[in-house]
A and B are shown apart, each in its own frame.
Chain A
């Protein structure tokens, strides 16, 4: 019974490159959330997706960031033209249904921009 899976676990990118972070939710979960955690801080909500739909992207930066959750395959968080300030841990969480309360988190992807 695999939990939420994220890959890669660590990603190093040079400034200006693209970063693609993947998240496979728990089996049977169709709700995915992305959060970002800067060093020594709590998690900040970025985006909430259901299959093929973005429900809430109020925490996403207006430029360079995008997310998708296709009908088949993992959810993808894409960061174009990365800058040093994008260096952070990016966590994905999933839930079975809206209003269930609990979100199950993956191990995170640690992005380092050099």
Chain B
């Protein structure tokens, strides 16, 4: 089963509004990452937050991590039409000497101009 599940599955907003996406996971992690994927394209790494961090910022992105609730959120402020994409969280379990990432199901964000 998937380690991560994003909520909501789809989100539609107007340009200028904020978009919040949530990710829940099941087991202990070393870090959690957020990726963006434009339709039919590869993944772009957005931000990594380690298990001992609670909040991280990068430009218009703000990520929080609550290890007690096994959840993370990605906030995109002042959204733009170019932010339209699918967003995935991925966890690094670092078990058995491997760095494999376990991806969530994704949130499809649509930003209308």
Please give, as numbers and ranges, the residues of chain B lying within 8 Å of A101 by CB-CB distance. 30-31, 33, 48, 50, 92, 99
Minimal Cβ-Cβ distance residue in A for B47: A102
Instruction: Check: B94 CB closer than 8 A to any chain A CB.
Output: yes
Minimal Cβ-Cβ distance residue in A for B102: A45
Please give, as numbers and ranges, the residues of chain B lying within 8 Å of A100 by CB-CB distance. 99
Q: Are B42 and A33 in contact (CB under 8 A)?
A: no
Minimal Cβ-Cβ distance residue in A for B49: A101
Q: Mark B96-113, 1 if CB is under 8 A from A, else 0.
A: 111111111110000000
Q: Mark A30-57, 1 if CB is under 8 A from B, else 0.
A: 0101010000011111001000000110
Instruction: Check: A106 CB closer than 8 A to any chain B CB.
Output: yes
**Given A91-B43, A101-B31, A107-B42, A55 and B97 contact (CB-CB distance below 8 Å):** yes
Shortest CB-to-CB span from A36 to chain B, Å, is 11
Please give, as numbers and ranges, the residues of chain A lying within 8 Å of B96 by CB-CB distance. 56
Interface band, chain A = 20 to 34
Partner of A105, one of B43, B94, B99, B102: B43
| B residues 55-102 touching A (CB-CB < 8 Å) | 88, 90, 92, 94, 96-102
**Given A102-B48, A107-B42, A42 and B2 contact (CB-CB distance below 8 Å):** yes
Closest 10 A/B residue pairs (Cβ): A56-B98, A42-B103, A105-B43, A107-B42, A45-B100, A43-B103, A105-B42, A42-B105, A108-B42, A101-B31
List 20 A–B pairs whose Cβ atoms lie within 8 Å, in order of A's numbering.
A41-B106, A42-B4, A43-B43, A44-B103, A45-B101, A45-B103, A48-B100, A56-B98, A56-B100, A58-B100, A59-B100, A91-B42, A95-B99, A99-B94, A99-B99, A101-B92, A102-B45, A104-B45, A105-B42, A108-B41
Q: List A residues at the B interface (Cβ < 8 Å).
A: 31, 33, 35, 41-45, 48, 55-56, 58-59, 91, 93, 95, 98-108, 110
Q: List B residues at the A interface (Cβ < 8 Å).
A: 2, 4, 30-31, 33, 35, 40-45, 48, 50, 88, 90, 92, 94, 96-106
